[in-house]
Amino acid sequence: MAREKIRIKKIDNVTARQVTFSKRRRGIFKKAEELSVLCDAEVALIIFSATGKLFEFSSSRMRDMLARYNLHASNLNKFNPPPLDIQLENSNLVRLSKEVEDKTKQLRQLRGEDLQGLSLDDLQRLEKLVESGLGRVLEKKGESIMGEISSLEKRGAALAEENSKLKERLMTLERGKTTAFGEGEIVATRDGISLESALTTNLSSSASGSLPDDFSDTSLKLALPFSS
């Protein structure tokens, strides 16, 4: 069954008129956005409700669109259109302004701002972007932490090796001092043993009267202190 065609005339009921205005306004804004995306066209809409409330839509900055419109209208009045290079420059300016505005809006939404008017699909898509970005941040943070740990471990190993070398050097120096002191004791002991043996031999020889000729001087020298 075909739908009944709605007669285009003013709706007398105030409530029905407001509901119809709200639905039609959203629909025309959606169509304008689709036209802008599909045809790469610059579209701007300005609507004043019966109560005087302003509603607007613009595929780029409304201020730039109005400036472009005023420039175009002024040129039409003067019958002197701008050169082609200026038109292209203005078009590029509008396009870049729109890109900057879109990126700025996207950045605000990633920060959790300016979320009014987003549908459920838009919010879910934004949530996936935030989760993906958070995952990359955590991964990079983990790599940075592991790098710091590895650097500290290498530094600790280098310090331990240096400490071991210093201990080994200190022990070598201590062994050298101990060896030198011990050799001195051994020499002194040996000298002491030799002196004692010589004295014993000399005394024995004197007592027996059989002192060798080569020890006569030594015996006399050793006996001098005692004869006094």
Predicted confidence (pLDDT) per residue in 166-175, tens digit = 999 898 888 8
The CA distance from 57 to 47, in Å, is 9
The CA distance from 69 to 47, in Å, is 17
**Per-residue pLDDT, 27:** 92
- CB contact at 8 A, 54 and 48: yes
Average pLDDT on 120-129 reads 85
Q: Could you give phi then psi for residue 4, rounded to 5 degrees?
A: -75, 130
Which residues are within 8 A (CB) of 56 and not within 5 positions of it... i.e. 6 or more apart? Answer: 44, 45, 46, 47, 62
Q: How far is CA 46 from CA 58, 86, 206, in A?
A: 9, 27, 144
What percent of the chain stands above pLDDT 70? 72
Question: What is the per-residue pLDDT across 76-118, written as a single tens digit (0 to 9) for each?
Answer: 666 555 667 777 887 888 888 888 888 888 888 888 887 877 7
**Per-residue pLDDT, 223:** 44
What percent of the chain stands above pLDDT 90? 21
**Per-residue pLDDT, 1:** 52
Greater confidence (228 vs 133) lies with: 133
pLDDT at residue 152 tops 90: yes
The CA distance from 202 to 222, in Å, is 9
Question: What is the per-residue pLDDT across 25-50, written as a single tens digit (0 to 9) for each?
Answer: 999 999 999 998 999 888 999 999 88
pLDDT at residue 149 tops 90: yes
pLDDT at residue 208 tops 90: no
**Per-residue pLDDT, 31:** 93
The CA distance from 184 to 66, in Å, is 107
- CB contact at 8 A, 115 and 123: yes
pTM for the complete prediction? 0.33
Residue in the block written with tokens 């210093």: 166
pLDDT at residue 207 tops 60: no
- CB contact at 8 A, 201 and 212: no
The CA distance from 81 to 51, in Å, is 38
Angle value at C-alpha 155, between 154 and 159, nearest 5 degrees: 115
- Mean pLDDT (the chain) is 76
Q: Could you give phi then psi for residue 47, rounded to 5 degrees?
A: -130, 130
Residue in the block written with tokens 């043993």: 193
CATH topology of domain 12-59: SRF-like (3.40.1810)
pLDDT at residue 165 tops 80: yes
Structure tokens at 74: 């002024």
**Per-residue pLDDT, 220:** 42
**Per-residue pLDDT, 191:** 45
Closest CA relative to residue 212, chosen from 226, 198, 225, 224? 198
